[in-house]
Amino acid sequence: MSHEPDGARGHDGPYAGGAASAGYRVWAVAGLPEVRPGDDLAKLIAAAEPGLVDGDVLLVTSKIVSKAEGRMLEASDREAAIDAETVRVVARRGALRIVENRQGLVMAAAGVDASNTPAGTVLLLPEDPDGSARAIREGLRDALGVTVGVLITDTFGRPWRAGLTDVAIGAAGVHVLDDLRGGTDAHGNPLGATVVATADELAAAGDLVKGKAAGLPVAVVRGLPGLVTADDDHGDGARALVRDSRDDMFRLGTSEAIRQAVTRRRTVRAFTDEPVDPGSVRRAVAAAVTAPAPHHTTPWRFVLLESPESRIRLLDAMREAWIADLRRDGKTEESIAQRIRRGDVLRNAPCLVVPCLVMDGSHTYGDARRDAAEREMFVVATGAGVQNFLVALAGERLGSAWVSSTMFCRDVVREVLDLPADWDPMGAVAVGHPAEAPRPRPEREAGAFIEVR
């Protein structure tokens, strides 16, 4: 198969001779035998395709690499094999799992494959795909005296796109990324974010001729020698194609993101001076008000104290009320001072939020028991809103601490903040960027909190 592009693409790329190519050819290699553990893939490929020349790129399906490297596993339970290869679950829906595997790749089922392998066995991905690519490249140089590039390929699905395509999971001697940033397009516009995944483009081209069921696991691309590195340079490898977690905006699936946010939600008592983005807090409030509530009501109100003046004015008034209460309780001045210091978490936070309960829409029964239950319903709904708020803050990578202090001096809070008389402050939430990573805490076994009837 040959492919002639409609127009030449030219630029000064990162590889030698980054000029446009007039065209390239890609074809599948015929005549390869069934690969078995211990086989030398470079020798098998050299025998099947002895006419390789400098600058060719070999596209080798990962399955035959796994077979040659003995990565076949007897496994009646494929799920157990997936578990063993999984580092992190990214998303789960029913039996389908998208995971990060031990090679750092995010893919379905950790790359564990039960196709094209004998019944009762599964194939695992190569242990070190970049290393596998280097070994094949060096073997072809020894066998044929040529300098080629080698890509190990596997089939991936992609977020937001239907269908599968081959991508590079291992590479040697190939410029896997073509960074065009700093250049210009045909109209002279600056390119500020264009980094082309050249290795994946090559892998997809190879998949067109190899097919999924044709028994043709190797393809050759000829006519793009500028993509191949010098003989003594294996390049960065396909690992360079894996997006760093710091830059990954879509690191988790929906349910996993929620679970991680819940797990990450910890009480933070020390904050940095970094300002809090008001938009982050408002997005957390938007999540808070999705909580369930009785009678189709909206019992939540969130008072945001974003200026230091408003926080200090409230906290000073609350401290005076607290000291008065403690003195009435007979506490010593030393004990009072210690308790006041423990409450400084609110004072040290760059943002303070006071969630309030309103009883609009509540029912009055004229019966103490039922009226008390009615209020409890609204209290539970407000608590659910506060929990949503705290989890959403964690999702925004903000630390928080809920404290109950405003509940003990509601009149003071209402007066200082000029709140309606029917707004009941339900604690306060300190918000900011954590000054340190949270300490590990022991796992809580869910069974300890469950009773089944």
- Domain with residue 367: its CATH number is 3.40.109.10
Count the domains in the chain.
Answer: 2
Statement to judge: residues 231 and 345 lie in one domain: no
pLDDT at position 294 is 95
Each residue's pLDDT tens digit, 123-163 = 999 999 999 999 999 999 999 999 999 999 999 988 888 99
User: Quick one: pLDDT at residue 397?
Assistant: 83
What are the tens digits of pLDDT across the range 333-371? 898 888 877 767 788 899 999 999 999 999 999 999 999
**pLDDT, tens digit, for every residue of 312-327?**
999 999 999 989 988 9
Q: What is the pLDDT of residue 394?
A: 86
Backbone angles phi, psi at 229, to 5 degrees: -80, 170
pLDDT given for residue 74 in this prediction = 80
Look at residues 216, 247, 278 and tell me which one is the last residue of a structural domain: 247
User: What average pLDDT does the chain have?
Assistant: 88
The residue assigned the tokens 């960074």 is: 179
pTM summary value:
0.63
Q: What is the CATH number of the domain that holds 143?
A: 3.30.1330.100
Between CA 227 and CA 419 the distance in angstroms is: 67
In a domain? residue 108 = no
Please report whether residue 198 resides in a domain.
yes
- For residue 343, being part of any structural domain is answered with yes
CA triplet 327, 328, 332: central angle to 5 degrees?
Answer: 30
Q: Assess whether 395 and 282 both reside in one domain.
A: yes
Main-chain dihedrals φ then ψ at residue 363, nearest 5 degrees = -100, 145
- Here the tokens at position 371 are 């009226």
Shared-domain flag, residues 193 and 334: no
Does residue 54 fall inside a structural domain? yes
Looking at 102-160, which runs of residues are DSSP E strands?
106-108, 121-123, 149-158
pLDDT of residue 16: 36
Owning domain of residue 234: 2-71+126-247
Taking the CB of residue 194, how many other CB atoms lie within 10 A of it? 14
Residues of the chain with pLDDT under 70: 1-21, 193, 213, 254-264, 343
Whether 170 and 267 map to the same domain: the answer is no
Q: In whole angstroms, how far apart are CA 294 and each of 2, 47, 301, 302, 439?
A: 67, 75, 15, 18, 37
310 shares a domain with 203: no
3-state SS, one letter per residue, for 73-97: EECCCHHHHHHHHEEEEEEEECCEE
Q: Is residue 85 part of a domain?
A: no
